[in-house]
Every structure is written in structure tokens, then in C-alpha cells.
Amino acid sequence: MADTIDIPKIGAVKKTQVMAVGGIAGGIILFAFWRSRSAAVDDAPVEEVLPEDPFQGLTDSGLGGSVGGYSSSSSGSTSDTQTSAPRTNAEWSQLASEKLAASYEPAAIDGALGRYLGRQPLTTLDQTIVRAAIARAGYPPEGTYTVITGGDSDIKVAPTGLKAVAASATAVDLTWALVAGASRYRIYRSGSRDNVGTSMDGTAQVGGLQPNVSYTFQVAAETAAGKVGPKSSAVSARTKSVVLKVPTGVKVSKITRSGATVSWTKVPNATIYRLYVDGVAHGAAEAPPYAVGGLTANKSHKVTVAADATGQSPSKQSAAATFKTLK
């Protein structure tokens, strides 16, 4: 084998020299290719890989659920950014109460929000609570409301136009004109030292009365701060009369030498029952049973019962129950 290679225009060249030159050329070509690839990689955009959000895909219920229609965090506290907007005034009141619970007494919050939604005059404390509620929970979603001042002022005017009408044998309906600055009204009835009830508006019904009895009524306005104004002029009304039914089911038990125990069925609207022994009045009772005494031993007796009520005529006497005292 020849140790040389005949290259045109050059002549005979040793093989070792040709191989050396070829190796160098190949290295230069490989280096150039590597440089071009590196430059392409350096110029390509780099995608930043962010850490995966551990809370991605979790619903409100997965983070602690919701209470009363409002979403909450896992710790149980309600943040402003997580709370859904209330859809009713009741939901608004609940949300506002929750947000203000750490700053005010629950009764003060309920009273202030109730008077605000009722468009009533507010005390200074009420106004502070309402403005704080609006700041934390927004305005009520139903209707338009304004902060009405004057809840701390005295009321010097008595309600006018008071009317009383019998509603039944045991109740009377009252109506009157509203007083500016009043948060509620106190109702007074004859026969009672203190007020017998309150009303948030100009109407009320007084119950627990006796049939066919005349009662006198007055009302007085009261502020949110508890200041009571003068009483109105007095008006009277008589409850309706009733026809009392005759008691039934008269029975005698526990008979002794001088007496016995009498029982019967109660009658609607009756407030007292009158007993008769042998046709003679023998006491009264508010309800059965009743013990009669002072009777003659070893003698037969007849007992009857009549229902009665204040201002009413007693009912007819019941059928007689007969018994004989012991010897």
C-alpha cells in the first residue's frame, strides 16, 4: 500500500498529512454547528414554572363553608372580600350584626337596625351603630333609608285622635295619630297602675278583659332613649256582652256527714261559677271543683251550678245532681 496520495495540482502528499487536515476541518465544522444550536436555545423564550396553588379548585365549602348565606374562611371569621352581598334586609341585618358584634351589645345593634329599617328617629348611639353597619355591610338592599335624628329628644306632645272600639267580649281595639320623634307607644288601661302594653305604630289591641265591662284607655309616646311623653286624653269602650252557656257534667264526690265535692264542665267566657244547694245560694268558685259544707247529715240534697261573668247576667242553673250525706 502506498504511503502517499496524489492530489491534483499539488502532487503526492503523505496520507498522515491528509488525515490530519481532514480531522481539523471536521472539528471546525462541528464547533460551528454547536455554536449555532447554542445561540438558538439562548434566543428561545423561557416559560416560568410557578408553584401550584394549593387552594385552586376548592369551593367555599372546602374553605370552611358558609353560614346564613355568607361565605366564611376556614377559621370561622368573615372577611369583607369573601362575604356575598345580602339580598334581603333581614340578611343585611344579620350580616351587619355579625360584623359589629365585637364592638356593640347585641341588643343595641338589634334595636338600632330595627329602628333604622322602621324609619324611626335614632339616638346618638343608634346613629353610630347604623353608620358603622353601612360602612361594613353596605346599604340595605330593599328600599331607600336615611338616618333620622332626634331619638334623644324629649317628647312634649301627647298623641291625639285616640279611639277605642270593642273587638270582642274580652278585647278592645285602639287607634291614634302618630307623634313625631316617637319610637313606640305605651298603652294604659283603667284598673292598672302600669302600662298594659306597647305598640310600634298607631294601633293596638288590649286583651284579657271582662265581657260587658267599660274600660278607659290612654296612650303616650316614647323615644328610642326611653323618654315618655304626656298621656293622651282618655277614651272609654265597653266590651261585648255574651250569652253564657249552662254548665254541664255536674257531679258529686267525696261525700261526708256535712258536705261533698262538686265538679262540672267549664263554660267559655265565664269568670265565676255560682253554686246552689237545695235551691239556696251556697258559695261561688272561679273554677271547678268546689267543696260545699254545713249540710245536714243523713239527708238528701240537690246541687246546681250557674256560670257568671262580671257585668253579665248569670246563666241558667244546671241540671241538679242529687246526693245524700253520711250518717
Q: Are the CB atoms for 187 and 217 separated by under 8 Å?
A: yes
DSSP string, 2-53: -SEEEETTTEEEEHHHHHHHHHHHHHHHHHHHHHHHHHHHHHSPPPP-PPPP
DSSP string, 120-136: ----HHHHHHHHHHHHH
Query: What's the grid cell of residue 6?
Result: 496524489
Q: Can you give the pTM of this predicted structure?
A: 0.54
pLDDT of residue 60: 38
Q: What is the pLDDT of residues 222-272, one digit of tens each?
A: 998 889 999 999 999 999 988 889 999 999 999 999 999 999 999 988 889
Select from 300, 303, 297 the least CA-distant residue to 326.
297
Residue 248 sits at φ, ψ, to 5 deg, of -125, 175
pLDDT of residue 31: 64
Distance (Å) of CA 168 to CA 1, 240, 274, 296, 307: 141, 5, 24, 45, 19
For residues 87-98, one letter each, b for 16 or more C-beta atoms within 10 angstroms of the residue's C-beta and e for the rest, the string is: eebebbbbbbbb
DSSP 63: G
19, 25, 29, 32 alpha-carbon torsion, rounded to 10°:
140
Low-confidence ranges of the chain (pLDDT < 70): 1-83
pLDDT of residue 217: 97
> In sequence order, what are the beta bridge partners of 49?
none
Q: Which pairing describes strands 290-292 and 260-263: parallel, antiparallel, or unpaired?
A: antiparallel
Q: Which pairing describes strands 228-231 and 214-222: parallel, antiparallel, or unpaired?
A: antiparallel
pLDDT of residue 4: 64
